[in-house]
Amino acid sequence: MANPRDIIILPDKQLRLISKPVETITPEIRTLVDDMFQTMYDAPGIGLAAIQVAVPLRLITMDLSKKEGEKEPRVFINPEILASSDELSVYEEGCLSIPEYYEEVERPARVRVRFMDLEGKTREEDAEGLYATCIQHEIDHLNGVLFVDYLSKLKRDRVMKKFTKAAKLAAK
C-alpha cells in the first residue's frame, strides 16, 4: 500500500537542489513511485517531481487524464529534453510546492523528451499541449527551477515574500 508523503513548500531550499540520476530501478524506487502517485492524486495534482517529496532523484510521476476517467499514470526516470520548438505557448501553471498560486507561463509549445520507464526501457516521445508544459515544468524541478522563475521580478519577489512569511508563521 502506498503512503502519501509530505510535499515540501516554498521557500524550502531543497526545491533549489539539482536532482541526481536514478542509477538502477530498485524496490525502493518502485515504492517511491507508488508513494509519489498516492501523494500526487491526494493533492490533487497532475505531475510531481521526487524532489517535491524531499527525494533529490531525477524521477517524475504524471497523470494528465481527466478526473472522472480512467487513471493514466506515467513515470519518467532521468528525463531530458532533446529538442524544443521555436513556437511558444502560454499555459496557466500551478505547483504543489507553491499551493494556490497560479500564473501564466510561456514555454516551448512542443518538446522531444527522452526518459527511462519503470521497466528500464529508454523511450523518446514528442510532447505538445498540456503534456509539453507539464513535462517541462517537472524537469525544471529536477534542475532546481520553479515556474515562478519565469515570471517578472516583481511577481516572483511578491510570491517569495508571501511564502517566506507563511513559513515563518507556521514555524512559530
- For residue 147, with 0-12 CB atoms within 10 Å meaning exposed, 13-18 middle and 19 or more buried, which class applies? buried
Could you tell me which residues are beta bridge partners of residue 144? none
- Catalytic site includes residue 138: yes
- Grid coordinates standing for 77? 526516470
Cβ contact 59:33 at 8 Å: yes
Pick the catalytic residue from 68, 92, 124, 138.
138
Amino acid letter, 4: P
Task: Give buried/exposed letters for 120-144 (b at 16+ CB in 10 A, else e).
Answer: eeeeeeebeeebbbbbbbbbbbbeb
- Any idea which residues carry the catalytic annotation? 138
